Structure 1
Amino acid sequence: MELIATAESLEQAEALINAGADRLYVGGHPFGLRLPKPLNLESIGQIADLAHRHGKKITVACNALMHNEQIHKLAPYLSQLGKFAVDTVSIGDPGAIFILRELGLPLPFIYDAGTLVTSAEQIAFWISQGASGAISARELTLKELIAMQKKLDRPIEVQVYGPTCIHQSGRPLLKNYFNYTGEVPKNDQTLYLRDPKNSDSHYPIFEDTDGTHIFSTDDLSLMGQLKLMYENGLTKWKLDGVLLHGGRFVQITALFDEARRAIESGAFVPESFCNRLVKLQPAYRPLSTGFYLKNPEDVH
């Protein structure tokens, strides 16, 4: 079982390693999407060095769908990541994959095309093109993921904690809105949309250089399903802290590490770990299992 956690700083990266994370997930603009904090190359290099000194790994997000200006900047960026000896990059744009192969760098890539990663056959194709693995779409059910995993010879990465992005636009929607209303723009990740039919709903919305992002009103948690996933070969678990910063995300990572060790020892009690996670979870972000426990027929 591999525990993957997003890191927003060198300090948090060290805390996450101490909490049990096996792999740190970082990145920066304009190549990485929806990160807890975009990092520059110097910071990424420092985190890579830290991870390797502790015998851990690092993945750098290059998962944007890239326009010409991004593609032109990508080669020197990847070359620098190669110098840092980062363990993998996550890429979903075929053009970016072409650039990576053209450079001939010893830099493995994980296929990450968001909502497009929905079949074992697609993953197998990209593995045949050099991918070392793939990150599954958030819209899949566990039933589908288990069926996919049985067809593959390497584990799929599955998000087990954190928010789900339900909409992205390349347009600066918040900036345009504030220009229209004449209000002072706010872009500190504390803005929400609300369903008029549900007064308890709040969908986080923020804007960055990649555009505007809207997230689900709750956070995904598969704590109760970890043992089932482990038994079916789904052993790469991603924790996403894009909306949860600082020490609380580190505590949640430590809890998932404890759950992993409990599974290994045969002492895992799902209800106990789920209850402990609820106590760590911010009250304004309820937990749910998202699409994962639905029947595939109800989703598609």
Structure 2
Amino acid sequence: MASIDQAEALMHAGVDTIYAGEDYFGLRLPHSFQRAELTTLIERVHAQGKQIQVAVNAIFHNDRIVHVLDYLQFLAQQKVDRITIGDPGAIRILHQSQLDLDYWYDGADLVTNSRQINFWAQQGAKGAVIANEVPYRELVDLVPNVKIPLQMLVYGATAIHQSGRPLLSNYFNFVQAHQDKLDRAKGLFIAEPHKPDTHYSIYEDMNGTHVFANNDVDLMTQLPKLAALPVSHWFLDGVFADPDNFPKIAQAFAQARDWLASQSLTAAKIADLENLVQANQPANRQLDTGFFKIDPSEVK
């Protein structure tokens, strides 16, 4: 969520859950909402009859995990609808606090099988965020065996690597180059040798260095398959999206959701919605279906 204004536009576009958070506690957020601003956002979301999901999915070292309880208490007081959380130590703090705060397990690329998901369901998780690396053919076997709902990325950037080290700062310090901005707004990327088409976006924040897949994910054409499984909690990541165009992309997915619910989503409508997504995608970022169509034996 890039701003409160964007949240308003997304809700107007038909989004039913707003995802936001603060960099100190959450990963790869378009904007870091400090508590006063987050309080305003929560009030706006609830006033529209929508839900808010707050990211508490950072990897916490000893100096930061001591602040998790206070943040969870704040979120419970603000009556957020749910949080995403992946650090077992942070989950233990949540359990011990006995706060009225639902959580969805978000262990990033670790969440790849039904037994792990059901384990966290036994620990109180109300849902789980499935790893982006799980292809459709694995989902077919996984989804019928899980006991809680799944959230899956259907649009946006896919993180493929995170290091807690400030790799960009280290690099620019080494070459003694002046670099006033290392975050996502700088538009930095890395490429593989002898592969000129590779364009791995990279940025640095207080959680370290984040590297993203060559293309953004777009599963618009695959939504009927997801709905049939069913995977009905769709996540749209706007970290690299154009702030003004992201609500238009969200509206296309919301329209697909509504047409699926009324059993009126046709191939022609999907094609039109896909064109809307393509038209509002940043010019320097390509789209594909990520891992969705990959043979599971090829995922390494």
Give your verdict on TM over 0.5: yes
Contact 2:198 2:214 in 1 (8 A): yes
Q: CA deviation at 1:75?
A: 0.8
Contact 1:133 1:155 in 2 (8 A): yes
1:101 to 74, 95, 102: 95
Structure 2 residue aligned with 1:39: 33
Q: Secondary structure at the residue paired with 1:160?
A: strand
Is there any run of 5+ residues in structure 2 with no aligned partner, and where? none
Q: Secondary structure at the residue paired with 1:45?
A: helix
Structure 1 residue aligned with 2:265: 267
Amino acid at match of 1:65: I
RMSD: 1.2
Contact 2:84 2:105 in 1 (8 A): yes
Contact 2:128 2:148 in 1 (8 A): no
Contact 2:135 2:291 in 1 (8 A): yes
Matches within 5 A, 1:132-281: 132-185=126-179, 186-189=181-184, 190-265=187-262, 266-269=264-267, 270-281=270-281
Is 1:285 paired with 2:285? yes
Amino acid at match of 2:107: A
Q: CA deviation at 1:195?
A: 2.3
Q: CA deviation at 1:135?
A: 0.1
Structure 2 residue aligned with 1:59: 53
Q: Secondary structure at the residue paired with 1:257?
A: helix
Structure 2 residue aligned with 1:3: none
Is there any run of 5+ residues in structure 1 with no aligned partner, and where? 1-6
Q: Point out 4+ residue stretches in structure 1 off by more than 4 angstroms.
A: none
Q: CA deviation at 1:188?
A: 4.1
Distance 2:142 2:6 in 1: 34
Contact 2:162 2:211 in 1 (8 A): yes
Q: Secondary structure at the residue paired with 1:146?
A: helix
Q: Secondary structure at the residue paired with 2:158?
A: strand
Distance 2:182 2:64 in 1: 23
Amino acid at match of 2:265: A
Q: Secondary structure at the residue paired with 2:156?
A: strand
Is 1:18 paired with 2:12? yes
Q: Secondary structure at the residue paired with 1:205?
A: strand
Q: Secondary structure at the residue paired with 1:31?
A: coil
Aligned length: 294
Amino acid at match of 2:279: K
